[in-house]
Amino acid sequence: MTFASSGHIPPITKELFDVIRLCVPKGSTILELGSGEGSTANLKEFYNVISIEHKESYIGAFNKRENYIYAPLDPHTDNQFYDMSYVEGKLPKYDALLIDGPDTEARNIWFLNKIRYFDRSVHWFFDDYCGVQLKDGIDNIIQYLGVEPFICTMGVKPFAVIMGEGK
């Protein structure tokens, strides 16, 4: 399996992968914001992964059987988050949410503005709890929701988990 390392950062870390495996039953559906070679490939062995992706070149590039929802970046978000009009009405039922995209520094700040589109009854896994805007965005989400997150700072890159409501 490919995980983030000091020389190769893009995929999720083994630590985040292990936490997802502990919290989400095998065979469940994970909605992934962003897609890519690392996280999707690792998760695909255990889960049905549906990815929202803005890069058309990524659609089916890593695994032809993957499920994608194409959503270009929204100019109203300074091209920092998906145009949710492409997603609305297309989201299937999912058991967990992995926020690993889009690959922009302010994605979590814009995620807060689009939070109504996402299911709060499932666990949310935020890759990349690092970088000022990424970290601040998660902190703002935590404050808005009034929840206690799990933040892991060990490993190559930190991540955060917000447990689903009632779980």
Q: From CA 18, how far away is CA 90, in angstroms rounded?
A: 29
**Number of neighbouring beta carbons within 10 Å of residue 42:** 21
Both structure tokens of 34: 């962003």
Residue with the larger pLDDT of the pair 123 and 103: 123
Whether pLDDT at 140 is above 90: yes
DSSP annotation of 45: T
Question: Picking from 9-23, 31-45, 108-122, 138-152, which range would have the lowest pLDDT averaged per residue?
Answer: 31-45
Sketch the domain layout of the chain as residue ranges. Answer: 14-162
Are 111 and 52 spatial neighbours (Cβ–Cβ below 8 Å)? no
Whether pLDDT at 9 is above 60: no
State residue 64's pLDDT score. 56
Q: What is the pLDDT of residues 119-131, one digit of tens each?
A: 999 999 999 898 8
Q: From CA 72, how far away is CA 52, in angstroms rounded?
A: 9
Q: What is the pLDDT of residues 29-63, one digit of tens each?
A: 999 998 766 556 678 889 999 999 998 887 766 65
Rounded to an integer, the average pLDDT of 93-120 is 95
State residue 38's pLDDT score. 54
In the CATH scheme, what is the homologous superfamily, with its name and number, of domain 14-162?
Vaccinia Virus protein VP39 (3.40.50.150)
Rounded to an integer, the average pLDDT of 149-161 is 91
* Average pLDDT taken over every residue of the chain: 88
